Every structure is written in structure tokens, then in C-alpha cells.
Amino acid sequence: MDELVLNIGKKIQHYRKKNEITLKKLADMIHATPSLISQIERGKANPSLSTLKSIADVFEIPIGLLFEYDSKNPASPIIKKGTHKKIITEGNVRYSLLTPGAQDMEVIIIEFPPGSSSGERMYEHEGLECGYLLKGELSIEIEDNNYVIQPGDSISFESYKRHRMTNQGEVTAIALWANVVPWIFINEKF
């Protein structure tokens, strides 16, 4: 397999059982169905980033603790093609880490297939983010505003403002994204 797909289902199940929360209760808390939670836990469904954020909030943990990866600093500063840590969420949205081992920021490439988004709900987290669109078109909702960026456009905003990203175009949108205060690929061990 060329890419590393991170299975978060077992982590969610671990935290759910550790906190003595039933499938139904967790589903109710995040406004989802027990069936969806069960499918995620069994690796049969990829949740959106906003769903993962809601689940992490219930467990009062950083979202990054739901992902499995080696948190050791890499032996080389080079990450070879096909070996980047990846997260694939609902809609086949792909997040690829470009800065493993960094403590103060994470730089990622995000690929949004046509019609995909970061989730149905807007979310917020700590930090500041900056994105640069390489290909396609991306709609970014921040609070009550909607911004559409084209290739070569960049955007930055405080991450505590509720936000969501959507590709309403006909081609895969590819963005280079930086989060000052890592929250997707945090360097913590399970």
C-alpha cells in the first residue's frame, strides 16, 4: 500500500469504552447515528474532520490522539514520496503531513474531491491557520462569511473562529495548509 491510512476506529472505541459511553450516547452527543459510530469503529466509514473534532471534544482530548502514527522525530528531514502520514476522512478528503516532528506547527497538503468538505458542521480549535490553493476551487466559511479561493490565492484566519471548507467545483481542490498550533497530527503517543 502506497499511502498510510490511519485507522482511528479502534482509538474511538477505546476512549468510548474507557469513558463508559455507549454507541447511542456518543451518537446523541455529536448529533450522529449509532450506526455511523459503529461503522467508524469497525473501519467501515471515514468520518469528516468536524465529526472527529466533535468526538474528541466529548472525550476532552486533542483530535490528534485519535490518530495512530509514530511520534518519534524522523531520522532524515526528507519524507519520500508515498511515505507521508495520511488521514482520509469522509468524502475521501486526504490530509498529508509535511512536517513530522514539528512541535509548534503542522504543514499539510489537503485534497478535496469534488463535492467533499471538512464536514457538515463548522468547527473551531486553538491556533492560526493559513492556506494556499494549488489547484481547483475551495469555499471557506468562517463564522458568517463565505470566501472562495482560486489557485494562487491564500487565506489566513484565527482557528477559534468557527469554520468549514467545501469543494463545490468539478475538479479535486489541492491546498497547502499550515496550522500554527498542531491539532490534526499532534505529536502525542497513545
Amino acid 168: pLDDT: 95
The pLDDT value recorded for residue 189 is 37
Q: Can you list the domains of the chain with their CATH numbers?
A: 7-66 (1.10.260.40), 85-180 (2.60.120.10)
Taking each continuous run of H as one helix and of E as one strand, the counts in the chain are: 4, 10
Where residue 79 falls among pLDDT bands split at 50, 70, 90? confident
Query: Does residue 74 have a pLDDT over 70?
Result: no
In angstroms, the Cα distances linking 74 to 41, 77, 80, 187 are: 29, 7, 12, 12
| 14 contact partners, CB below 8 Å, separation of at least 6 | none
- Provide the angle, in degrees to the nearest 10, between the axes of the packed helices 9-18 and 49-59: 30
In this prediction the pTM is 0.74
Query: What does the pLDDT read at residue 3?
Result: 35
Residue 4 has pLDDT above 60, yes or no: no
